[in-house]
Amino acid sequence: MRILHLVRETVCARVDVALRVAVVIMATVLAAVLPAGVSAYEPEPGQWYLDSHRGVVLRFPLADIPFNYADGYSFPSMNQSLYLAKDSAQAAHSAVSYFLRPEGKWFEFFGLVAFDIVFTYLPGGSAWLHEEWHRAVMTNRRVASFDDVYRFDLFAESIAVSHVKDSDLARLKKEHPADFVRLSAAGNEAEIELITLMRRDSFFERRTLRLDSFYWWLNLINCWYYVYTCGTRDADTFTDKMNRQDGTSVSRRDFTGLDFTAWVYDLFRPNEAYAARGMHPSGVGIDLSLIHI
């Protein structure tokens, strides 16, 4: 499950001293980097087109064997979803620059910001990539699932990997406990890999920095804030809310609840049976949420 709290959620949340300091530091870095990224390079008249397309390198693995053919046909693998997300973002950023750069650098900048915020929630965006890496771990062990990004619920407070059977998760933990631990952390891992890959293009392919830099920061802040949130009491409040909304529908539930609560739980309990989590608060199925642990 990937959480993208909007400003209103952050303002309403109880924030301790450590978070305040971190936010101040992050804001200072953003203030220093983003404007510089927007205005550091001023192309000559007629050169903006070449600049917006500098470093656009599209790569996509058509087949990822044995993953694609391990159990019938499965798509996408971790590598395929990673390159789809990277290619989609970079191609779109170049297109936004192509149309808006002639109107001025700030039109281009705010156009990129608006696109990135919306694209995050769409197939090919970072939320989609986050969930697809969760799914790839399960698919590799013959566990079926569904990526709720395909429901197109823009600006959703949370996005689930749903339609996962308790029996499949119990089998996965029993037979492959290491994979079960990685399962919870794979989403954030995907976003870090995406940023690393895009930064590689910026360095080796001389891709223009300003086109992708906001997307990097958006994902880095999300990764950091997700880990932080899982260690607060707000995580329990959020989990209670999700449990009430999901009710008795096992298929609607996210496969694990908050990622890093489950990651820590299973990291220190590799041999514990999955059913030991107890019954879901609704009385139907196994409790995935792990609140108040």
Please name every residue paired with 286 in a beta bridge, in sequence order, or none if there are none.
279
Which residues are within 8 A (CB) of 63 and not within 5 positions of it... i.e. 6 or more apart? Answer: none
Residue 225: the pLDDT is 94
Which amino acid does the sequence have at 37?
Answer: G
Alpha-carbon gap, residue 112 to 106, rounded angstroms:
10
3-class DSSP assignment, residue 16: coil
32-36, 84-88, 206-210, 218-222: range with lowest mean pLDDT: 32-36
Please name every residue paired with 2 in a beta bridge, in sequence order, or none if there are none.
159
Position with higher pLDDT, 33 vs 133: 133
Average pLDDT, the chain: 84
Summarised one tens digit per residue, pLDDT across range 259-279 is 999 999 999 999 999 999 999
Residue 157: the pLDDT is 87
Q: Quote the tokens at residue 68.
A: 């694609």
Residue 34: the pLDDT is 46
Summarised one tens digit per residue, pLDDT across range 6-64 is 333 443 444 443 444 454 445 444 444 444 344 344 455 555 555 555 667 888 999 99
Whether the CB-CB separation of 183 and 168 falls below 8 Å is answered with no
Judge whether 110 lies within some domain: yes
Residue 57: the pLDDT is 81
Summarised one tens digit per residue, pLDDT across range 50-99 is 555 566 788 899 999 999 998 889 999 999 999 999 999 999 999 999 89
Judge whether 163 lies within some domain: yes
Name the residue with tokens 């789809």: 84
Q: Quote the tokens at residue 150.
A: 């395909």
Q: Quote the tokens at residue 194.
A: 């995406």
Whether the CB-CB separation of 108 and 120 falls below 8 Å is answered with no
Judge whether 282 lies within some domain: no
Phi, psi of 237 (to 5 degrees): -60, -45
Residue 58: the pLDDT is 87
Name the residue with tokens 């994979």: 179
Phi, psi of 246 (to 5 degrees): -75, -35
Summarised one tens digit per residue, pLDDT across range 100-116 is 988 888 999 999 999 99
Residue 272 has a CB neighbour count (10 Å cut-off) of 14
20-29, 192-201, 234-243, 249-258: range with lowest mean pLDDT: 20-29
DSSP 8-state class, residue 232: S
Listed in sequence order, the DSSP H helices in the chain are 7-12, 17-39, 48-52, 78-100, 105-119, 126-139, 166-175, 177-204, 209-229, 233-246, 259-267
Confidence of residue 214 (pLDDT cuts 50, 70, 90): very high
Whether the CB-CB separation of 159 and 131 falls below 8 Å is answered with yes
Residue 213: the pLDDT is 93
Judge whether 85 lies within some domain: yes
In the chain, the number of structural domains is: 1
Judge whether 212 lies within some domain: yes
Please name every residue paired with 147 in a beta bridge, in sequence order, or none if there are none.
161
Alpha-carbon gap, residue 217 to 279, rounded angstroms:
39
Please name every residue paired with 158 in a beta bridge, in sequence order, or none if there are none.
3
To 5 degrees, how large is the angle CA 163–CA 169–CA 173? 160
Q: Quote the tokens at residue 256.
A: 């694990």
Q: What is the mean pLDDT of residues 221-231?
A: 94
3-class DSSP assignment, residue 248: coil
Residue 51: the pLDDT is 58
Structural domain span for residue 72: 2-277
3-class DSSP assignment, residue 159: strand
Summarised one tens digit per residue, pLDDT across range 145-171 is 999 999 999 988 899 999 999 999 999
Judge whether 287 lies within some domain: no
Residue 287: the pLDDT is 87
Which amino acid does the sequence have at 186?
Answer: A
